[in-house]
Structure formats: C-alpha cells, structure tokens
Structure 1
Amino acid sequence: MPNRLRIRTAALAATAVVLPSLMAGCAGSFADGELSSQKLVWKDCPPPSEAEGGGSAPAPLPSGARWQCATMQAPLNWNNPTGGTIGVALIRVKASGPPNKRIGSLVFNFGGPGGSGVTALPAFAPDYETLRTRYDLVSFDPRGVGRSAGVKCKDDQQLDAFFQQDMTPDTAAEQQAFVNSTKQFNRACEQNSGRVLPYVRTTDAARDMDLMRKVLGDSKLYYFGISYGTELGGVYAHLFPKNVGRAVFDAVVDPTEDPVQSSVGQAKGFQLALDNYARDCVAKSGGCPVGRTPQDVEKRIAKLLKDLDKKPLPGIFPRRLTQTAATNGIAQALYSKDFWGYLTDGLKQAYAGDGKVLMALSDAMNGRNENGQYSNLIPANVAINCADAKPRYTVADVKAKLPQFRAASPLFGDYLAWGLISCTNWPVAGAANHPNVSAPGAAPILVVGNTGDPATPYEGARRMVQALGPGVGVELTYKGQGHGSYDSRDKCVQNTVNNYLLYGKVPRAGIVCT
C-alpha cells in the first residue's frame, strides 16, 4: 500500500483489471497577468498517456456530449512566476442545461495524491449528470501527475520488481533490503524528475486551481473534492478564502494528523472495513465460502498472509503473489462494498493455490494495467506526500511504533507502519507536519463523512469542520460502507449535495443519512 494513498479511482482500476514527459510545456516566462488572461484551446481529447494509465480516448456521454481537453500554463515555481512554466492538463464536458441557468465550472479532484483527473472524470461522469445541468464538469491532472509534468521514477520492469519485494520485513536482512530499495526508488525519482520535485506540494496545486478559476472565467471556485481532494480543497480555502464558491468535500482527510497518526487511522479504517466484510460474508444466505464466522474469515486471511511470506503463490505470470501483494489486493477490494465479491473470489482462488485475482487487485492499487504498464500514480503519490509532509522516519522509529499499528490492525498494521519510511532520503524537504486548512471568511463548505470509510476514517470529517473554522464547514454524515458517500447513490446524500451545489441551499449541520 503506498504512503497514505487516498483515491476514488482505485475502485475503477480494480474493475478494469479484474474484469477483463517529465516537463510538459516547460516554456518561456510569463507575467502573472499574462497567465491569468491566457486563452485555453479546447480540442477533442487524445487517448490517455501511459502516465495517465493508457487506454482509449474518452467516449462521448450517452447524450452525445463530447469531452474536450486543453493545457493551461502555470508557473513551475509560484514563488518565481516568471521563471518558466509547466502545462497543466485539463478536461471538460459542457453543461447540459440552458445557458442562462449555467452557474460556471465545477472542478473535481478525485484523490490520490497522484490520481489523474483527466482519466477519472469521464469514468465517473454518469454519477454527476444532475450537476451537469448547471455546470461544466472540469477536472485536471495536478502538477506531478499524468500529463502535468508527471513524476517518473523507475520503468515498468523495475516497478514490477519493486512491488514484488517484502514490504513488511521481519529480519534485519529484510529490513536493510527494504531500506535500500526505498533509497533506490527515491534516487531514481530525483534522477528522472528532479527539476519538478520541489514544486509538487499541495499548496502549489491549490495555486494552480485559483489560476484555473480565472482562466475558466469564474469569479468563485466551484469545487468537488474527494478523498485527498478534500485536503487540496481545504488548502485552497486557506489560501483563497474569499474565492471559495460552493464546495463539497467527500471522503474527508483529517487535516490535523501527522503521517503517523494518519497511517494509524488508515490501519483502523481498513480493519473496520475488513470486519464489516467478514460479517457481511457470513450473513449471506448461501454461506461464506471463505470462513464459517467473522473470526474464522479473518483468521484464515491472517494464515494465508503468513504462509505467503514464506512461499508465494503463482500469480499473473511470471510474477508471484507475495504477502505484500496479497495485503495490497485485500486493501484495494475494501475500498468499496461493490468489490467485496472480488475479495471473496480472490481468497477462494488463493486458498486453492491461485493468486491471480488478488494480484490483479494489487496491480490496480499500484496503477498497473493488464499490459504491464504503470501509470505514474505511485511516483506522484510519493512525490506529493513527501513534499508535503515534514517528518522523516527511521527503521528505529517504525519499530517503536509497531505495537501501536498492530493494535490498530493485526492485518494491516505492519504494512502501514513500514510505509512510513517512504520519504526517508527524499531529495526535497517536507513542508509541514500537517496541512493548514483554516479558512476564516470562506463561504460554507459541505463536508461529508462516511462511517464505514476505510481510507479516510469518519472522524476526519468532524476535524475538517473544526479546522476550517466557525461558520465554514457544514457536516453531513452517511452511515454506509466504502470510500466516499456521494457515489454510494444514497438519495439523502445526493439530494443534499445537489441542492447545495445547484441551488445554494446550505443544509443544517449534523444531518445523518442512513
């Protein structure tokens, strides 16, 4: 599991797999006024680049509406706006309603950090057709991601080897091998993308969004942030409180936590999701094929992972299903209740000696497609997290924290604890212990928390509301399962969000949808 990966597109990638240029536009200098007044050239979208995940160009929506893509020039270094630019890739589909009812552009970020909005928005657009009646739907590849000066570290073959390694080392030799591998990965990122690494912080992406607002012609930013997108939205609100229009944060990152607290929270969240999966499985009328009781389900999974640590299973040839890949695959399936069936299938296969399904789920989490090509999801995730987060952890730090992580989750604790060393020896210093999202004077922001969310635990929503400050955050609770709430299609959640975004109806705080 990558370092604090929080992304809605993980579920999309699993569906695709299970069911079968470093500097873009590194141009001359622009004055700030020139950047703000630039005219976007919208054209039919090309197929996604390898860094965006590959595949076909986005098909028109069922209504016939076509997707358009453009590139916005933004400063490489916002502290030196005339020192060169990068291209930020954008995608949009125009509003479907009458022009006189159009509000503006609704900008989406689907999470990560590291996820491509250019590929995610067309995949999820059917969920937002109601919102399209009054908004152009817009998304983008944040800097460091996909076509927007995408971070590159290792090639596909090297990444295969990297993800085959033991990421829960038990012995001193395994620990040293893991540390050395992390150093090599980080060094490759510096060698291949060193110029962009200092400029991929969330604060940089937030400044890009404010430029985007101006270039799109909106006086306020209308925004829908999911998962890590809520952190990006909170940072935007802190930097530009007066420019916030109507904004929704769904699957909310806790902005008060440092990396240890965040990772422990994720361990608890994935453990809760596993407990819920196990209870759901044994409650089915036909019985649960992977255990008789919830405790039996989890006991058998723990035994499988222990056995895989000693002897991996055949996976997707020529790779083998390791303990790390299986843990990663299980976590991927827990992102959405819709994928619990795949988890059951994967476990059944693995108990019979076949690791293909769990490995396909793991590949989805790592951004690997069925052709063996990796998007830059993981390199971008590491680069942005490490540029944002100030702490740097050692092996001794991890060992000291292991009891806390194991208490949070016997299954996922070790995995997430060892992920803390991802930023060790990173070439760029981290900015802060946690993001600043205080936004006094901002317009109301609707903050939606899901009680069963594994990747962004429910408690983060209330802490986001508190951190935004009095009169800004408005909390909505969804008692459900999976990562996020709006895409659950719960009518209570969707009606509340739609009424706010479409008509400006701010709900009373504390609504609970079940």
Structure 2
Amino acid sequence: MCQTDAEFRAFYAGDFRDRSPAAVQGVVDRSKQFAKDCLERSGDLVKYLNTDQAVRDMDLFRSLLGVQKISYYGPSYATWLGAYYATEFPQHVERAVLDSNEPFAQTWQQAELGQPMSFQRRFGQDFLPWIAKYDSVYHYGSTAAEAQSTWEARRRALHDHPITIGSLTIGPNQLDNATLQGMYNADQQWRGLASVLAALEHWNTATQAEHQLVQKTFANYLSPGFAATFFPVTCNDTPWDRDLDYWIRQSAKDTTKYPLVGARELAYTATCVYWPESDAPRVKVTGKGLPPTLMLNSVHDPATYYEGAVRAHKALRGSRLVTVTGGGDHGQYQNGNACVDGIVDAYLLSRTVPAHDTTCPTKPLPLPAQGS
C-alpha cells in the first residue's frame, strides 16, 4: 500500500481545473508525494510491479497446471497483459480474446493522452443526449446542451460549497470521478448516475434513499489499493516524458478541450514524472507465431478509445477486430449483445474465426430509472 485512505483523499483534493500557479503546484506536490510514499513503503517491490512480471507469473501458473497451451480472455488492462503474454510466450497460446483494448502496441503515455478525448466523447455525445431525452424523469434539461449546462453549474456550486456526508467530501473533482466512472456501461450505470445527478439538484429536499445512493456512488470510485497497482504498472511498463513543464502545458490544453478527464491529467502524469526509471523490458507486440486472435471494441469506449484499439489491431498480426458500432460500453463479451457473444462463443468453443474484421450493432440504450 502506498498511502492511507486519508492521504489518498488528499490526492484528489481541490479542483483539478484550477490552473492558478498555487493550485498547479499543489497537484504536482501531491503526485510527487504519492510516488515518494510508494517507494518508501514498498521498497524494491515497486519496480517488479509491471506487466512483464505478471506475464511470467501467468506462465508459471500454466506450467504448474501441467498444460501446454492456454485459452485467454482479458478485458481492459488485461488486453495489455494478454498481448504481452502472447508476444513473449506465443507457443503456449491456443486462443485469445482481447476485449476493450488498451493501445498495447504503444506506450502508457499515449494511452493516457487518448482518454480525455474518449471520455468527453462518451459524455457529450452519448450520455447527455440520453439524460436529456428523459427530462421528465430527471429534470436535468431537455437538450444535451441544457444538460451540460446543468452539470457545469453543479460543478461550480460544489467548488464553492462542497457537500459533506460523514467523512466524505463531494467537490468538483469527486463529481468528475463519479461521472467518468458512470460512462463505462450504459445499462449498468447511467440510471444510477442520472439519479445521483438529479438528487444533487435538490439536495436540501433529497430523500434518505437518495442520500444513501449519493454516498455509495461517491465513496466507490478509487482507492489507495487501486492506485498502488495502477501507477507502478503504468509508470514502469513503458517510457514517460519526464519534462514536467511539458505536462503542465499539455494538461492545460486538455483541461480546456476535454475537461472531464483532461483536468486530472497532470495529477496522473506527474506521478510518473517522479517515478524512478524502470528497467522493465520493452515488449514489441507483433502477433508473430500466434493463432488468429479475436479483439472486441466499441466505437465510443471511454476508457480504451477506439482509435488506439485499431492501432493495436494492426500491430497484432492475424487478429480479427469486432467493432461494436453506435455504442460505447467498456467490456463487450457477456454484456447483453447477442451478436458479440455469438462470435466469441463460436471462437472459444469451436475455433471458428471470422474471415475478416466485422461489426456488431450496439444493444439498445437503457430506459430511465423507475420511480425517480
């Protein structure tokens, strides 16, 4: 563990959109402290927390199980893990499904630079029109522009007057976090997020059930445990630009253009700026020696942006890309899409591989929450 709960709450303190010199320096200082705490409290362990080491652990498990080849399914970061395993141990791969793909043929720096655009696209082009469609339920605005205005007004209000529930403080950064987390899966998360946003608009008269939903939503995002694994992997695996001034300039641009995630960019990248140089091996994904691999991605995936998935697909020779058109869920297999499930099941059960890249339509967007 790198930090306690209280220390990690400080990592998200304030307002990441504040670009005043004092606020920017505060973000940098807290990122530097996080990196320092990881090194002091974990010792030499942190340098071994990388994807190459995880790949070698995987192959050890394979060997202990006494099997020559494995079949692999991995979503999100596990696509990076699977692609590296397939590159380093292609002789032990029978089948592989990579779902919602990180740009594993590139660097973590490039992966994180793509997320502000893709989260903003999912929020602006998908979620806001959806919540506006149900203005009679959520009262958030009858157009996407009105819903955006309501959300921004609430963020400004939280900047000036954060909401406190027990030990939990809900400020602008917390609103960003809850919103971006809600972008991952429409059916599972949009109704809950919309109900939370609606409750914040009448907080003084919110019901006990609404208070509980808000508390659960805002207490559930990131933890010190997650950060203690996320940052070592992303900072260790691939090289980072160590020029802090570059990241201050870049994050200012992304804060303006893609504020939902661009605002936190400096906090994340500055952590890797202060991370020690890694000796993790540089792995180049090629697909050499592999059977055909199946890749899945939606066009508006917020976390693993489609443009990066396409580049990963081109690097992984012999792979087939299943594009889910018109949708943006993160994680496609067993997500209620019969087209996707049919392709993956045929591949895993009978080795049937699509003759070429193909598409599946997205599933319908959810109806609003009942009783809101």
**1:451-470 maps to which residues of 2 (within 5 A)?**
451-469=299-317
1:188 aligns with 2:37: yes
Change in CA separation of 1:410 and 1:378 when aligned onto 2, cut-off 3 Å: closer
Determine the structure 1 residue equivalent to 2:11. 162
Q: Partner amino acid for 1:361?
A: T
Can you list the C-alpha shifts for 1:151-191, whole angstroms capped at 9, x where unaligned? x1112332333333444442211222222222222111112
Give the fraction of aligned pairs with identical amino acids, expressed as a percent.
27
1:502 to 334, 349, 366: 349
Q: Partner amino acid for 1:466?
A: K
Can you list the C-alpha shifts for 1:304-359, whole angstroms capped at 9, x where unaligned? 22332333122x31332111111011111111102111111111222224787556
Checking the alignment, whether the CA contact within 8 Å between 2:155 and 2:175 is kept in structure 1 is: yes
The DSSP-based 3-state class of the residue aligned with 2:296 is strand
1:475 to 304, 318, 321: 321
Return the structure number with greater relative CO, CA threshold 8 A, min gap 6: 2
1:490 aligns with 2:337: yes
Determine the structure 1 residue equivalent to 2:369. none
Change in CA separation of 1:219 and 1:259 when aligned onto 2, cut-off 3 Å: closer
Determine the structure 2 residue equivalent to 1:175. 24
Change in CA separation of 1:192 and 1:318 when aligned onto 2, cut-off 3 Å: same
Change in CA separation of 1:427 and 1:406 when aligned onto 2, cut-off 3 Å: closer
1:365 to 215, 221, 234: 221
Change in CA separation of 1:351 and 1:395 when aligned onto 2, cut-off 3 Å: farther
User: Which structure 1 residue ranges, 4+ long, deviate > 6 Å from structure 2?
Assistant: none
1:252 aligns with 2:98: no
Determine the structure 2 residue equivalent to 1:15. none
Determine the structure 1 residue equivalent to 2:190. 340
Structure ranking higher in helix proportion: 2
1:411 to 217, 235, 260: 260
1:398 aligns with 2:247: yes
Change in CA separation of 1:340 and 1:378 when aligned onto 2, cut-off 3 Å: same
Q: CA deviation at 1:458?
A: 1.7
State how far apart, in whole Å, the 2-side matches of 1:397 and 1:247 are: 38
1:444 aligns with 2:292: yes
State how far apart, in whole Å, the 1-side matches of 2:287 and 2:228 are: 30
1:377 aligns with 2:233: no
Determine the structure 2 residue equivalent to 1:206. 55
Q: CA deviation at 1:398?
A: 2.2
Q: CA deviation at 1:219?
A: 0.9
State how far apart, in whole Å, the 2-side matches of 1:173 and 1:301 are: 26
Q: Partner amino acid for 2:73?
A: F
Q: CA deviation at 1:428?
A: 4.4
Can you list the C-alpha shifts for 1:36-62, whole angstroms capped at 9, x where unaligned? xxxxxxxxxxxxxxxxxxxxxxxxxxx
Can you list the C-alpha shifts for 1:400-447, whole angstroms capped at 9, x where unaligned? 213642465243322234421121222343748x85221211111101
Determine the structure 2 residue equivalent to 1:146. none
1:277 aligns with 2:127: yes
Change in CA separation of 1:165 and 1:324 when aligned onto 2, cut-off 3 Å: same
Q: Which moved more, 1:235-244 or 1:221-230?
A: 235-244
Structure 1 gaps, min length 5:
1-151, 368-373
Determine the structure 1 residue equivalent to 2:148. 298
2:163 to 306, 310, 313: 313
The DSSP-based 3-state class of the residue aligned with 2:355 is coil
The DSSP-based 3-state class of the residue aligned with 2:116 is helix
Checking the alignment, whether the CA contact within 8 Å between 1:464 and 1:473 is kept in structure 2 is: no
State how far apart, in whole Å, the 2-side matches of 1:210 and 1:284 are: 50
Can you list the C-alpha shifts for 1:93-117, whole angstroms capped at 9, x where unaligned? xxxxxxxxxxxxxxxxxxxxxxxxx
Determine the structure 2 residue equivalent to 1:57. none
**1:38-77 maps to which residues of 2 (within 5 A)?**
none
Checking the alignment, whether the CA contact within 8 Å between 2:2 and 2:37 is kept in structure 1 is: yes
Structure 2 gaps, min length 5:
205-210, 362-372
**1:126-137 maps to which residues of 2 (within 5 A)?**
none
Q: CA deviation at 1:274?
A: 0.8
Change in CA separation of 1:412 and 1:495 when aligned onto 2, cut-off 3 Å: same
- TM-score in terms of structure 1 length: 0.64
State how far apart, in whole Å, the 2-side matches of 1:235 and 1:217 are: 21
Checking the alignment, whether the CA contact within 8 Å between 2:176 and 2:261 is kept in structure 1 is: yes
Q: Partner amino acid for 2:323?
A: T
Checking the alignment, whether the CA contact within 8 Å between 2:34 and 2:271 is kept in structure 1 is: no
Change in CA separation of 1:256 and 1:441 when aligned onto 2, cut-off 3 Å: closer
